[in-house]
Structures are given as C-alpha cells and as structure tokens.
C-alpha cells in the first residue's frame, strides 16, 4: 500500500473510459488513489497526471505496473491490447480490473486464464458493469428468488445515439452485444450455446459499410431464448432495456429515468445521452467493490471465465453475422479456479 490502507492504482489507457475511471477514483470512491497513468499517447497521459498529486505519467504500461507505488491496475486500453497488459500485471501479481472485453477472442482469453491459473489464485475482475446497476441487480434477485417461475425468454434492447466512424460490424457484436452476452449468462445462470444474427434493411442513419440495426438471438443450455436488438445509430439517445418473460410473470427494466414532465399537451421524461451517464452509478459501484475486495485481499465480480465465455460467444456471433447462419458456441470445461 502506498499510503496506510490506500490502494495505489495504475490506469492503463487514458481515453474516454480510462479518464473517467481516474476521475472516479480521485473524486468519488474511497480507499484508493491514482499513482500512475499510462497511454501510448504521451501527451494525454501527461495532461491527466498533471492534475493529480503523486501521479506519474508513462507511455509504457509495463513501466507503470513495475512502479513501487502501484498496488493494483485498471486496464482501459482497447480490447486488442488487454492480453499483453493482463500478462504483465500477472508478472507483478497485481489485482486487475480489466474493462470489457477481457480479450477480443476465445484463444487469447484462454491464454489469460491459463496464466492466471499458473498464479494459483484469481487476479481479474472484468468490467461488466451492468452487474452493478441497481435495476439489473433487482431483476437478478427477482429471477433468483424463483417467484416468477422459470425464465422462458429474455428480450433486450441496446441503443446508442451514434458511434465513432471506426466502428465496424464486428464491434457491434464484440463491443456492444458483449454486454448482453454477460448479463444473459449472469441473470439466467446459464451458458449460451448458439448464436443467430439477422439484419433488417439498414437505417438511413447507418454509415456506409455498417449494417445497423441488427437482431441477435442466443440459445442457452437451460432452454431460454434471448434476443437483442442492437442499434448503434438510433440518434435519440442511449437506451438499454431488458424484459424477462417467465412462467408466472414478466419483469422489465430500463424503461424510464428521472423526472416526468407534463407541458404543452405532451408528457415525458428524458433519455440519457450516453453510457457514461446511464451507468454512472454502476461504474461507481463496480470500481468501489473492486477496491474494497482488493483491500480485503479478495477477488470478486465477473471473472476471467466470464470474460472467456463472452469472448467465445462473440466469436460465434461474428461468424453467425458474416455467414448468415446459426452458429454453435463451444466452451472448454470450466477450470477449478473459476467454479
Ligand atoms: N464498460 C463500458 O460500458 C465501456 C464503455 C466504453 C468503453 N469500454 C471499454 O474500455 C476500453 C477503452 O475504451 P475507450 O472508449 O476509453 O477507448 P478510447 O479510444 O477512448 O481510449 C483508449 C486509450 O488507450 C490508449 N492506448 C491504445 N493502445 C494502448 C496500449 N497498448 N497501452 C496503453 N494505452 C493504449 C489510446 O491512446 C487511448 O488513449 C475498451 O476495452 C472498451 O471496450 C467499456
Ligand atoms: O464500448 C461501448 C460500451 O461498452 C457501451 O456500454 C455500449 O453501449 C456501446 O455499444 C459500446 O460501443
């Protein structure tokens, strides 16, 4: 610990999410402080570090993780850079909160799990923050209580106002639908066994080369059907909704937020502009839970196994999307460390 009872954290990748986590650790949560930031963009890291007492800027993530005042790591670089950062964190036996996706494909996720198993203990929490959202937590506890009976179907809507120009068809699955892969597995306590992707005629708002929206269906080993409407250029705001249809009732989350206003012959509320606003409390709770567990010497939350399972479903999803046919998901047997 760099200071008594305070975790010194290195944040790797200081773009949108990394910078937001730095702000959160510095201003919102307790028990931790940012002692290092690393970004390939030296200027970006330097600017962020300049505002924080005792924080050093690096361009090399390995140098940041080797620093004496670093006790734990948040990885917020792009998905393809996660494997290398995770393996370096393991070399220093550091606890890690790794933004989703754990890695972009199943083979690299398997390598990460193998390296973690060699350490002999769990080190990774994956940043599937919806598991910390108040509404998702309520839905999970209702489903787990059995009050509604067995879940038959789970309908999901995932809408972003827009995405950056480099957003690809594959990212629709790997960056966006990956959240529904995780929440479906978590809410239902089931594994996803097959994926089908269908595409309506694209929206006029979709950029050239991106077929948007898409409709994704998961089959599960418990016989529940899960569908996801993913629409990343809906223009009107950020919306994430889920409805569980069970034997004895249904439960829906993500419908309304904030104040309801009546005016000029209309009524209504507002739609969050982006995930940073919609899930602010979930991100806060996620990072605080990670810091608290780390200070207790524990690792909780979504594991590398969850990251691997999602990566395997993503791989099947990308194939289903490209080939236009139902694609099965194959998982290895769950290693003892993750049972
Ligand atoms: N949980 C969520 O809701 C959520 C939301 C957005 C992004 N994310 C995830 O967070 C991660 C970052 O996304 P973002 O939107 O902040 O991206 P971004 O492009 O805004 O930022 C990424 C930063 O990482 C830096 N970088 C690139 N390669 C690096 C490397 N090898 N080492 C160190 N730094 C490197 C870039 O220079 C950039 O500053 C991704 O894994 C993404 O999927 C999660
Ligand atoms: O990386 C982002 C992020 O994960 C958001 O939570 C999701 O809604 C977006 O679709 C995705 O592009």
Asked if omega into 213 is within 30° of 0 (cis), the reply is yes
Residue 198: per-residue pLDDT:
98
Share of the chain above pLDDT 70, in %: 98
Closest-lying ligand to the alpha carbon of 15?
A: 1
Q: How many CB atoms lie within 10 A of CB 207?
A: 13
| Distance in Å from the first CA to the final CA of the chain | 30
Could you tell me which residue, 260 or 225, shows the higher pLDDT?
225
Residue 197: DSSP 8-state:
E
ipTM of model: 0.99
Which stretches of 67-125 are DSSP H helices? 82-91, 106-119
* Domains detected in the chain: 7-130+281-302 (3.40.50.720), 134-273+310-338 (3.30.360.10)
Q: What is the mean pLDDT of residues 238-260?
A: 92
What lines the ligand 1 site, CB under 6 Å? 12-18, 38-41, 44, 61, 76-79, 81, 99-100, 127, 129, 175, 275
Residue to mutate, 13, 99, 238, ligand 1, most ligand atoms under 8 Å from C-beta: 13
Examine the pLDDT at 259 and tell me if it is beyond 90.
no
Specify the residue for token string 């996801």.
228
In DSSP terms, 251 is beta-bridged to 244
pTM of structure? 0.96
What pLDDT sits at residue 62?
98
- The number of C-alpha atoms within 13 Å of 169 and in the hemisphere containing its C-beta is 19
Model pLDDT, residue 257: 65
Q: What percent of the chain has pLDDT over 90?
A: 94
pLDDT in the model for residue 3: 64
Q: Give the model's pLDDT for residue 44.
A: 98
Residue partners of 162: CB distance under 8 A and separation at least 6: 205, 232, 233, 235
Pocket of ligand 2 (CB under 6 A): 160, 175-176, 179, 232, 275
Higher pLDDT, 147 or 260: 147
Cα-to-centroid distance, 148 and ligand 2 (Å): 30
pLDDT of 258 reads 75
The pLDDT of 4-16, averaged and rounded, is: 93
Q: Does residue 218 carry a pLDDT above 90?
A: yes
Q: Report the pLDDT averaged over residues 68-96.
A: 97
* pLDDT value of position 5: 79
Separation of alpha carbons 144 and 189, rounded Å: 9
Q: What average pLDDT does this structure show over 133-137?
A: 98
Are the beta carbons of 272 and 63 closer than 8 angstroms? no
pLDDT tens sequence across 326-339: 999 999 999 999 99
Mean pLDDT of 41-56: 97
Q: Write out the E strands in the chain.
A: 7-12, 32-38, 56-58, 72-75, 96-99, 124-127, 151-159, 192-198, 214-220, 225-231, 239-246, 249-253, 261-263, 266-268, 327-328
User: Is 77 a residue whose pLDDT tops 80?
Assistant: yes
């Amino acid at each position: 610990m760099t200071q008594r009872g305070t975790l010194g954290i290195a944040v790797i990748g200081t773009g949108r999410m990394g910078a937001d986590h730095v702000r959160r650790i510095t201003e919102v949560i307790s028990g931790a402080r940012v002692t290092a930031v690393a970004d390939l963009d030296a200027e970006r890291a330097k600017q962020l570090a300049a505002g924080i007492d005792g924080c050093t800027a690096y361009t090399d993530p390995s140098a940041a993780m080797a620093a004496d005042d670093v006790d734990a790591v948040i990885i917020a670089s792009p998905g393809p850079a996660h494997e290398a950062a995770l393996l370096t964190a393991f070399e220093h036996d550091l606890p890690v909160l790794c933004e989703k996706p754990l890695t972009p494909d199943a083979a690299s996720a398997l390598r990460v799990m193998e390296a973690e198993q060699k350490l002999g203990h769990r080190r990774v929490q994956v940043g599937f923050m919806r598991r910390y959202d108040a509404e998702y937590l309520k839905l999970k506890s209702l489903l787990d209580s059995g009050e509604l009976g067995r879940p038959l179907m789970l309908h999901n809507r995932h809408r972003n106002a827009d995405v950056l120009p480099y957003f690809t068809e594959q990212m629709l699955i790997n960056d966006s639908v990956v959240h529904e892969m995780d929440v479906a597995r978590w809410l239902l306590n089931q594994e996803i066994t097959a994926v089908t992707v269908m595409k309506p005629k694209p929206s006029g708002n979709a950029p050239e080369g991106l077929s948007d929206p898409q409709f994704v269906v998961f089959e599960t080993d418990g016989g529940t059907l899960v569908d996801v409407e993913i629409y990343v250029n809906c223009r009107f705001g950020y919306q994430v909704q889920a409805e569980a249809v069970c034997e004895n009732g249904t439960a829906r989350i993500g419908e309304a937020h904030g104040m309801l206003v009546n005016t000029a012959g209309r009524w209504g509320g507002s739609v969050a502009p982006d995930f940073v606003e919609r899930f602010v409390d979930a991100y806060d709770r996620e990072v605080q839970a990670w810091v608290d567990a780390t200070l207790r010497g524990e690792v909780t939350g979504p594991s590398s196994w969850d990251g691997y399972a999602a990566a395997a479903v993503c791989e099947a999803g990308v194939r289903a999307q490209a080939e236009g046919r139902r694609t099965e998901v194959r998982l290895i047997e769950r290693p003892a460390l993750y049972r």
